[in-house]
Amino acid sequence: MDLTAFADEVGSVGPVTIVGRGTRGGAVRDVRCVTAPTGIEWIQADEMTVGCGAGTPIDELDAALREVGQRSVLPAGGTVGGALAMGRSGVRRLGDGPLRDALLQTRYVGADGSVVKAGGPTVKNVSGFDVCRLLVGSQGTLGFLGDVIVRTRPIALSSQWFVGDRRDPFAVLAAAYRPVSVLWNGVDVWVLLEGHARDVAEQADRLRLAECDAPPPMPRHRRVVAPSTIGAAVDSLPRGEFVVEMGVGVVHSDVDVALPSSDPAVARLAGRVKQQFDPAGRLNPGVVVG
């Protein structure tokens, strides 16, 4: 994919922000906007990889992948680049792994307007610094994704949500075999199981779970804690609704809870990284990661 026009649009001077569909916060206000290239370049089903422009809608990507019996691990809605830039996995993270593992290679436009390649096109790429992982979750403050190569996964033969009332979520998590997701709201436990239909049904019966149509709706606010501290995190919440992603450490709640301050050493390191990538602070100005 030719990124010349995109790089020229980003340029090398003045504040600039990147915008997709606006589903994950949208562009920085009162700043010149650019849009990443769109389109699926190729799908290598045998290698379980796909190459596309960062501005490609995720629903368009998933529709193309379904034709070869595969799917992406990107959360639904918005664009490929937007999902990667935010770095927030969906409720399938327990089974699919963190979103940063999905990005194999990208060509992005840096603060000086140049096109930079990071990563490699294969799953077992280990050469050089793994800049791809740094870019995932950076919210466009280190570079604007132009095109990407991401991993895909096969569509399971059977995929079904189950629910059990008044169950110990830790016991269910420990007893379930490779669950895709385990959610808990303080009373009920939802489990997403995938595989052969008979295996899924047998496991649900062993766990004493009943089929359900969908998981519970996710409350608005989201915080991340160490999975081992889930109990304490829930106890610290003011009264209200919550849903916990067990084994992952994500807590969704209907009340906004302030996160603890970052480790000063981590904050200083993040500042130095930002200084190296964007010394003038022109990419998505005002956005503070973390």
pLDDT tens, the chain, 290 aa long:
999 999 999 999 999 999 988 888 777 888 999 999 999 999 999 999 999 999 999 999 999 999 999 999 999 889 999 999 999 999 999 999 999 999 999 999 999 999 999 998 876 665 667 899 999 999 999 999 999 999 999 999 999 999 999 889 999 999 999 999 999 999 999 999 999 999 999 999 999 999 999 999 999 888 888 888 888 888 887 777 899 999 999 999 988 766 555 678 888 888 899 999 999 999 999 888 86
User: Which residues pair with residue 276 across a beta bridge?
Assistant: none
Distance, CA of 233 to CA of 249 (rounded, Å): 9
pTM: 0.91
The predicted pLDDT at position 24 comes to 80
The whole-number pLDDT of residue 104 equals 94
Question: Letter for the amino acid at 121?
Answer: P
State the CB neighbour count (10 A cutoff) for residue 152.
22
- Structure tokens, 132: 């791809």
211 contacts 200 by C-beta, under 8 angstroms: no
Token pair listed for 76? 């639904």
Residue 262 confidence (pLDDT) = 63
Q: What share of the chain is helix, strand, coil (3-state, %, to 5)?
A: 25, 25, 45
HSE-CB of 85 using CA atoms within 13 angstroms: 32
Residue 86: per-residue pLDDT: 94
Distance between CA atoms of 244 and 227, rounded to whole angstroms? 10
Q: 117, 107 in Cβ contact below 8 A?
A: yes
Whether 65 and 72 have beta carbons less than 8 Å apart is answered as yes
At 218 the pLDDT is 93
Is 254:242 a contact under the CB 8 Å cutoff?
yes
Cα–Cα distance between 82 and 277 in angstroms, integer? Answer: 19
- CA dihedral sign, ordered 172, 173, 175, 176: positive
CA quadruple 134, 139, 142, 148: dihedral sign: positive
How many other C-beta atoms lie within 10 A of the C-beta of residue 66?
A: 11
> Cβ(290)–Cβ(271) under 8 Å?
no
**Where do we find the tokens 């193309």?**
64
Closest CA to 162 of 209, 232, 115: 209
- Assign 228 to helix, strand or coil: helix
| pLDDT for the residue numbered 256 | 79
